[in-house]
């Protein structure tokens, strides 16, 4: 990404924030009040150190969507980037709704204002995940991480760690202002129809089980057809 593209991207981020403020500020205020009323002694925000551009660490903000206490349990991903199966047990009722609509990510607009993040780009990861990076994957650190990204609108939690990184690299290699606009529009449409960027792991598991069952049925059907063909061949002989 050239310096001109970076400046254009920053201007787009700031203009987008100005346009978004009248809608987002009231929503954030309401969510903050609900979170505080549901657990007065617990914090409204969850913060975590993430890896930003050029490997610089920064504090990322989110609305707290899990039971406060064990901060390590707030991270909904394993080291390989997959959703922690037992994480759902600690998600609050308000948190589940926020995650479904991706509203828990709204405080990251603070990170955008501070210049740690952009509206769109590769999602920021914890430093532990860098251990799995190869030379090509390190290109993710050449740009600011994003509030949303090409991988998120392209696959959500249904694609694995490597596929997400491939989409991130594709975004960086093919970057354009129009691509950013496309990602923002796809993100908005995804949230409007109620899918969000997050998907409950129980739902993901059910879908995976259904897919596995259908695959097993197809395999069984193929074996049955082959058996019938062999029987028919033997009979005609």
Cβ atoms of 85 and 68 closer than 8 Å: no
Query: Average pLDDT in the 182-196 region?
Result: 78
Residue 139's pLDDT is what? 93
Residue 79's pLDDT is what? 43
Q: Compute φ and ψ for 56, nearest 5 degrees.
A: -75, 130
Burial annotation 9-33 (CB, 10 A radius, 16+ → b, else e)? beebbeebeeeeeeeeeeebeebbe
Predicted confidence band of residue 24 (pLDDT cuts 50, 70, 90): very high
Query: Average pLDDT in the 180-184 region?
Result: 93
Predicted confidence band of residue 21 (pLDDT cuts 50, 70, 90): very high
Query: Which range, of 10-14, 105-109, 155-159, averages the lowest pLDDT?
Result: 155-159
Residue 74's pLDDT is what? 45
DSSP code at position 68: S
Helix (H) or strand (E) holding 119: strand 118-120
If you average pLDDT over every residue of the chain, what do you get?
Answer: 80
Report yes or no on whether pTM surpasses 0.85. no
What residues form DSSP beta bridges with 65? none
Residue 232's pLDDT is what? 55
Both structure tokens of 121: 């780009």
pLDDT over 90 (residue 110): yes
Tens-place pLDDT, residues 39-77: 899 999 999 999 999 999 999 999 999 987 644 444 455
Predicted confidence band of residue 230 (pLDDT cuts 50, 70, 90): low
């Amino acid at each position: 990404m050239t310096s001109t593209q970076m400046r254009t991207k920053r201007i787009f981020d700031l203009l987008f924030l100005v346009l978004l403020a009248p809608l987002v500020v009231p929503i954030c205020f309401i969510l903050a009040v609900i979170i505080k009323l549901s657990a007065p002694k617990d914090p409204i925000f969850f913060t975590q150190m993430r890896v930003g551009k050029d490997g610089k660490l920064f504090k990322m903000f989110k609305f707290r969507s899990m039971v406060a206490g064990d901060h390590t349990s707030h991270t909904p991903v394993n080291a390989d980037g997959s959703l922690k199966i037992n994480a759902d047990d600690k998600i609050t009722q308000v948190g589940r709704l926020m995650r479904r609509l991706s509203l828990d990510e709204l405080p990251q607009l603070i990170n955008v204002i501070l210049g740690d993040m952009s509206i769109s780009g590769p999602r920021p990861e914890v430093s532990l995940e860098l251990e799995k990076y190869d030379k090509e994957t390190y290109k993710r650190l050449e740009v600011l991480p994003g509030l949303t990204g090409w991988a998120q609108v392209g696959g959500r939690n249904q694609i694995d760690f490597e596929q997400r990184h491939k989409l991130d690299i594709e975004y960086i290699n093919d970057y354009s202002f129009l691509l950013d606009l496309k990602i923002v529009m796809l993100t908005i449409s995804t949230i409007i129809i109620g899918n969000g960027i997050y998907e409950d792991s129980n739902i993901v598991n059910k879908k995976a089980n259904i897919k596995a069952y259908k695959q097993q049925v197809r395999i069984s059907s193929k074996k049955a057809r082959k058996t019938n063909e062999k029987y028919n061949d033997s009979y005609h002989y």
